[in-house]
Amino acid sequence: MKIAMCLEPEVSPKWHYALQMGVTEAVAISDAGIALWDMGTLARYKKLYTDFGFQVSTFEGWLDLNDIKTGGPLAALQTGRFIQTIRNFAAQGIEVYCYNWMANIGWKRTQVDAVTRGGALTTIYDHRVSEASPEAKLPPEVRAVDLWSTLERFLDQVLPICEAEGVKLAMHPDDPPLERIFDVERIMGSMEAFERLLALSPSPSNGITMCQGNFAAMNADVPAAIRQLGRDGRIHFAHFRDIEGDAYHIEERFHDDGKTDMRASMQAYHDIGFAGAIRPDHAPVMYGEENTKPGYQGLGRIFAVGYMKGLIEGMTPTSNP
């Protein structure tokens, strides 16, 4: 496996921190709306990372797929752009694309300044707070049955191209993994949902982002989930992250301070032969940092990289699945 850092496409102190920690694998991450279907645009962004000294095998975000998910009027346009982006990824040596099937609403929190260990600031999702919103009383605007239908149609259209081009798709869980947020139903919030996803197509390009915090919020045994879902090599990307609570009340924690056996999780990746990028995900905001992008500041993830390196060095090299 390759320890990576998610880095937005603008040189920042985090870029320097990563290289100084010996992390040379970047996960290129950005909000949706950038025209990666244009080869020149993708090549320029990739060059920004490689000129700085990074290898880039994984992209996360960048593309707007919302009309594909909802069956909206731009679905055909977005699908065509996606297919061209996959071809561009292959030409540029990008191996993995992380996507999700959350429609209209992405990851959701109800508090971003809760106090955790040592006075650090963290995020919380409290379903009671969310359900008190007027939007929660509306009839569903997006239904689960339709999301499964659009997902199956999407995979039927794009997986043959992905497989031919050697690019792997890695589905991220819903965050939080609930069946409904406000007036939008969700589908990728359980182990059963991910087994169903894999059953939609046996293609090796049809895979998973193992976001540990969300699987923990499902009350899954995370090391066992890694072994189960990664049994045939279909975990393509991993988010190293931990929480306390469950999907109805999530509190993000430092990576060594949650409910998951992180050592056993790292051992499970090793035992299944996981060779993809694994990056520290959401971390509390530490002393001296501005809480301008909760979960994505630098110091907590610097701590996480050291923790991950220690766990990897302590793994049992001869374990079997």
Amino acid at site 85: T
pLDDT at 137 (0 to 100) = 79
Residue 203 lies in a domain: yes
CA 191 → CA 36, 56, 196, 216, 277, distances in Å?
31, 29, 9, 11, 22
Question: What's the average pLDDT block by block, 10 residues per block, for the chain (321 residues)?
Answer: 97 97 98 94 98 98 97 98 99 98 94 98 96 82 97 99 99 98 95 98 98 98 98 97 98 98 97 98 97 94 98 76 44
**Cα–Cα distance between 183 and 107 in angstroms, integer?**
15
Residue 281 lies in a domain: yes
Residue 36 lies in a domain: no
State which residues form the domain around 267: 95-313
Residue 252 lies in a domain: yes
Residue 28 lies in a domain: no
CATH code at position 294: 3.20.20.150
Structure tokens, 85 = 């982006």
Residue 145 lies in a domain: yes
Residue 16 lies in a domain: no
pLDDT at 139 (0 to 100) = 78
Long-range contacts of 19-25 (CB under 8 A, 24+ apart): 19/52, 19/53, 19/54, 21/302, 21/305, 21/306, 23/305, 24/53, 24/54, 24/55, 25/54, 25/55, 25/56, 25/57, 25/277
Neighbours of 48 (CB within 10 A): 18
Neighbours of 165 (CB within 10 A): 17
pLDDT at 318 (0 to 100) = 54
Characterize the bridge pairing of strands 55-61 and 25-30: parallel
CB 154 within 8 A of CB 171: no
Residue 33 lies in a domain: no
SS3 content of the chain, % helix, strand, coil (to 5): 40, 20, 35
Query: Total structural domains in the chain?
Result: 1
Neighbours of 95 (CB within 10 A): 17
Q: What are phi and psi of 98, to 5 degrees?
A: -90, 125
